[in-house]
Amino acid sequence: MKCTIGTTNVKDFGRAIHALAKVGEELYIEPSQSGVSFRTISSSRSAYFSYNFGNSFFTFYDSGLGGQTPASGEDTFRCKVAMKAVLNIFKGIHNLERTVQRCKLTLKWEEAKLIIQLTCHYGIVKTHNLSFIECDALQAVYDKESCPNHMVSDSRVLLGALSSFHQQTLEEISFCFTPRNLILKSHVEEPDPSKVVHTVVTLTRGEFEDYNIMSNCELTVCLKEIRALLAFTGSTGISTKAYFSGPGSPIIFTYDSKPLYEGTLVLATLVQKPEVGTHPASKSCHEPRASTSIRKASMNNTLRASEISMMQNNLPNTTSGDKAADVTVQNITVALDNSRVEDIPHQQKDVVRGDTSHSEPIVPLLRNNNKAAQEEEEDSDTVPSSPPAKKSRFFFRRCFEATFNPDTLPGHNVILAEDSDEGD
Amino acid sequence: MKFSGTMIELGCIRQFALVIGSLARLAKLCVLRITRTHLYFIINEPGTVHRAPGLWAELDQGHYFSTVTMSGVSEEHNEIFLEFEPDKLSGTLSVFKSNNAAVRNLKIKLAKKLSPCLTLEMQMPSFSEHARTVVHDVPVLPLPRRQWHLYQEPEMPHFTASIYLPPLKKLRHVVERMKNLSSSLTLAANRKGTLVLSVTSDAANVSTYFRNLTMPTWDLEGAASQMDEEQLHSATVEIKKLISFLAGEQIGPCKVICNIVDDRMVHLFLLHDDVILQYFLPAARSS
Look at residue B277 and tell me whether its pLDDT is greater than 90: no
pLDDT digits (tens, 9 = 90+) for A312-343: 333 333 333 333 333 333 333 333 333 333 33
Rounded distance between C-alpha atoms, residue A225 and residue A19, angstroms: 8
Which residues have a Cβ under 8 Å from the Cβ of A238 and sit 6 or more positions away? Answer: A155, A255, A256, A257
Cβ atoms of B233 and B131 closer than 8 Å: no
Domain boundary among B96, B127, B151: B151
In a domain, B115, yes or no: yes
Whether B100 is in a domain gets the answer yes
Domain co-membership, B212 together with B270? yes
Are residues A194 and B134, on separate chains, in Cβ contact within 8 Å? Answer: no
Q: With beta carbons under 8 A apart, name residues in chain A contacting B17.
A: none
Is residue A46 within 8 A of residue A268, CB to CB? The reply is yes
- The answer to whether residue A200 neighbours chain B at the CB level (below 8 Å) is yes
User: CB of A62 within 8 A of CB of A47?
Assistant: no
Q: How far is C-alpha B135 from the geometric centre of its chain's CA atoms?
A: 26
Provide the whole-model pTM.
0.69
Q: Domain count of chain B?
A: 2
CATH of the domain at B213: 3.70.10.10
Cβ of A198 within 8 Å of Cβ of B129? The answer is no
Domain end: B120, B151, B182, which one? B151
Question: Are residues B139 and A154, on separate chains, in Cβ contact within 8 Å?
Answer: no
At A66 the pLDDT is: 65
Q: Is residue B287 part of a domain?
A: no
Smallest CA–CA separation between B136 and chain A, in Å? 4
Residue in A with minimal Cα distance to B101: A160
Q: What is the mean pLDDT of residues A211-237?
A: 88
ipTM above 0.85, yes or no: no
Q: Do A195 and B138 touch (CB under 8 A)?
A: no
Domain span at residue B247 reads 161-282
Is residue B136 within 8 A of residue A198, CB to CB? The reply is: yes
- Mark whether B145 and B194 lie in a shared domain: no
Confidence of residue A359 (pLDDT cuts 50, 70, 90): very low
**Residue-wise burial string across A273-298, b where 16 or more C-beta atoms lie within 10 A, e elsewhere:** beebeeeeeebeebeeeebeebbbbb
Asked if B246 and B166 count as a contact pair (C-beta separation under 8 A), the reply is no
**Residues B133 and B77 both lie in one domain:** yes
- Cα B283 from Cα B274, distance rounded (Å): 29
Q: Do A198 and B114 touch (CB under 8 A)?
A: yes
pLDDT by residue (tens digit) across B227-263?
Answer: 677 788 888 888 888 888 887 666 677 788 888 888 8
User: Computed from CA positions of residues A388, A389, A391, A392, in that sequence, does the dihedral angle turn out positive or negative?
Assistant: positive
* Same domain flag for B236 and B202: yes
- pLDDT above 70 covers a percentage of chain B that reads 90
Same domain? For B80 and B196 the reply is no
Q: How many CB atoms lie within 10 A of CB A110?
A: 5
Chain B contacts to A (CB-CB under 8 A): 88, 91-92, 94-95, 113-115, 117, 124, 126-130, 132-139
A146 contacts A308 by C-beta, under 8 angstroms:
yes
